Chains A and B, each alone.
Chain A
Amino acid sequence: MSSADPTATGANTATDDRHQALLEDLTSRLGDAVVGSHIRNGDLWVRIRPDGWLRAAQECKAMSFDYFCYLSGIDWLPHTWPNPKVIEAPGVVDTESSDDGADASPQEAEAGFETDEPSSGEIVTGFAGGDTRFQVLARLYSTVRHIGLTLKADLDDETPSIQTWTGEYPGADWCERETYEMYGFEFVGHPNLVKLYLPGEFEGFPLRKDFPLLAREVKPWPGLVDVELFPDTYQDPAEGA
């Protein structure tokens, strides 16, 4: 996020220096457990080796990262359900040009949903890289230094499991339970790893990309079809001509 005032660029580089220093500090503490990093727009991403996940929490806590922001997971498998896609009506003009402001007429391109062509199935991971399908990610913040960072770790495709953070950050308790039920990640050492939101007998892991979104399976998104006519232009087909 850049700020509105003209000194924004100066402020941004200053923040990046802070994040660079933080990354160096973390790397010196964790050694080769840091396998990837990324700095962008005043934020820092660090990828940790899975076996160093707990140690990363301990070191971060020692570095005054006292505030536990969140912990969650991500599944990098490409979407398998209908994806948002541009549906172009005939005679469409260039959609990228925005010459006369915001009002696009409905005859022009609409953003809608249509069954996408089958994707290549290739996994594309995000910042700080990744080698596996599943990743766990967590964010910590320091209320003293006012700086935050996102930590990531790769998990095994078949049996995703990682150490728990509940000993260091008690706030991780519920987050890990949620990630466990939504992604099926196991948190080794968690005192009470049971489902948080879903009923106990629920099967499957809803936030995994291969878990179908049933609402869309049953009734596909209508996209352009859903345009409702104004009352004065509407003609009841039953009435006839």
Chain B
Amino acid sequence: MAVADQQRISYIASQAADVRLNVELQTEEMTLNLGPQHPATHGTLRIIARLDGEQVVKADVVCGYMHRGYEKLTEVRTYPQITTLINRIDWLSSFANEVPFILAAEDLMEVEAPPRAQWIRTLFFELSRIANITLFIGEMGVQLGAITPVFFAFRDREYVLNLIESATGGRFHPNFDRIGGIKDDLPKGWIAETKDAMRRIRGYCDELEDLLMGNEIFEARTRGVGVIPADVGVSYGLSGANIRASGVDWDLRRDAPSPLAWKELDWKVWTHPDGDSFARYWVRLQETREATLMVDQLLDGLPSGPIQAKVPRIIKVPAGEAWAHTENPLGEMGYYIVSQGGLGPFRVKIRSASFHNISIVPWLLKGVYVPDIITILSSLYFILGDIDR
């Protein structure tokens, strides 16, 4: 409880200082339009900020520039076709998008993938996490004017993407998960290559830690900026590293029942009590390193056996409703499938993490300074496809 109080006090103190300033210096309000094309938005997100001097009085988020209507499109597709579609929601960790959908469909069909398939799923899930967050760790530096980290990020992310490509055939959109298992087994020599790549990624994390953590500019721009108290965060539906950075010890990989192999690994859920931009960065950096260690364990313990359970040639899902969610790189991602029997779903509700993570922005930006808008947005880390779906 003390942690939440501390976050709250620091938030209230910053707000109070802002109010005082506004009374002293009354200025005419102006509107600042950010985007839709802005490097900090990772896509096309528009923010309309009402400014008083250098402070934001009110911020409106305009999204929908990339709305593709996936919930409608799923209604005219068969289950195997939908995985192709949902690959494009969070395009930096496509495989992780497929998993909860397949799990929900498997739940309705009452089939279960064999252990080897579950382990390989977990393996690719964590690889997508690394590919995704690696980029964030570098990107955050760019938003603060440091160019080097992003070059490192693109350099080292390539190792992970090559691994995903060599096993699935797709660099960005693997479309590898199947109802009842996975498409293919791992190629020859892949395990050794992966171990090597994980070593590189750990080196990259150390490098970034050296470059940014303790850097005066980085600390000044992120410490105490964009504080989200834990209770506010959860009521907005924030999930993933964003809420763990506010001290909420909650990770679906550990806390939710799942057929994937996370429960059999030895790993740690990282949290940070501060809830500011720095905490969000720090948690993600630790999670990336943790994920590389998880991949190593998955490679060592990979069980042998089949990779596909017996399923009918034509997938028909019995009538019913199912909800499946997983801890994706950006936060909780879930699919609510309503089936009325047949080849395609009746309705699919896609719960994507970024949509909810960004819905806090109008609240969070109140009272911050203009340059901090960029840091805060960047530290919340969103993918536009994951907001607009």
Residues of chain A at the chain B interface (Cβ within 8 Å):
1-4, 11, 15, 40-43, 45, 66-70, 72, 74-75, 79, 81-86, 95-98, 101-102, 104, 108-109, 111, 113, 124, 126-127, 137, 139, 143, 146, 148, 150, 168-171, 173-174, 182, 196-199, 206-207, 213, 216, 221
Q: Within 8 Å of chain A (Cβ to Cβ): is B115?
A: yes
Whether B237 contacts A67 by the Cβ 8 Å rule is yes
Contact A84–B344 (Cβ < 8 Å): yes
Interface contacts (Cβ under 8 Å), in number, total 158
Secondary structure type dominating chain A contacts = loop
Beta-carbon contacts under 8 Å, B178-206 to A? none
Q: Is the CB of B321 closer than 8 A to any CB of chain A?
A: yes
Query: B308 at interface (Cβ–Cβ under 8 A)?
Result: yes
Beta-carbon contact of A4 and B112 below 8 Å: yes
Output the nearest chain B residue to A206 by Cβ-Cβ distance: B72
Most chain A Cβ neighbours within 10 Å, of B67, B234, B324, B342: B234
B259 contacts chain A at the CB level, 8 A cutoff: yes
Partner of A2, one of B77, B112, B347: B112
**How many angstroms from the CA of A69 to the CA of B186 in the assembled complex?**
35
Q: Is the CB of B359 within 8 A of A174?
A: yes
Can you spell out 27 A-B residue pairs with CB atoms less than 8 angstroms apart?
A: A2-B259, A66-B231, A66-B234, A68-B356, A69-B351, A70-B336, A70-B356, A74-B338, A74-B347, A82-B76, A84-B77, A85-B342, A85-B343, A98-B310, A101-B308, A102-B308, A111-B80, A139-B323, A139-B334, A146-B250, A169-B236, A170-B235, A171-B236, A174-B359, A182-B71, A206-B69, A206-B72
By the criterion CB–CB under 8 Å, are B332 and A69 in contact? yes
- Give the interface size bracket for B toward A: 35 or more
* Cβ–Cβ < 8 Å partners of B311 in chain A: 98
The residue that A1 contacts in the complex, of B324, B332, B343, with Cβ under 8 A, is B324
Q: Is the CB of A143 within 8 A of B313?
A: no
Residue contact B257 to A171, C-beta cutoff 8 Å = no
B103 & A171 in contact (Cβ 8 Å cutoff): no
Provide the B121-148 mask, 1 if CB < 8 A to any CB of A, else 0: 0000000000000000000000000000
Query: What's the least CB distance linking B368 to chain A, in Å?
Result: 18
Beyond A95-B314, A170-B363, whether A1 also contacts B64 by CB under 8 A is no
A141 to chain B, nearest CB (A): 8
Is there a chain A Cβ closer than 8 Å to B39's Cβ? Answer: no
CB pair B67 A197 closer than 8 Å: yes
A98-B310, A101-B308, A111-B315 as given contacts; A83 in contact with B236, CB under 8 Å: no
A143 and B248 in contact, given A1-B259, A72-B349, A197-B67 (Cβ under 8 angstroms): yes
Q: Which residue of A lies closest to B60 (CB)?
A: A192
B343 touches A84 (CB 8 A): yes
Residues of A within 8 A of B370 (CB): none
Interface membership of B85, Cβ < 8 A: no
A151 to B188, CA, bound (A): 48
Counting CB contacts under 8 A, is B95 at the interface?
A: no
Question: A69–B237 contact, CB under 8 A?
Answer: yes
CA of A109 to CA of B235 in the docked complex: distance in angstroms? 48
A68 contacts across to B, CB distance below 8 A: 234-237, 356
Q: Does B388 contact A (CB under 8 A)?
A: yes
Chain A residue contacts of B10, Cβ below 8 A: none
Q: Which residues of B contact A2 (CB under 8 A)?
A: 112, 259
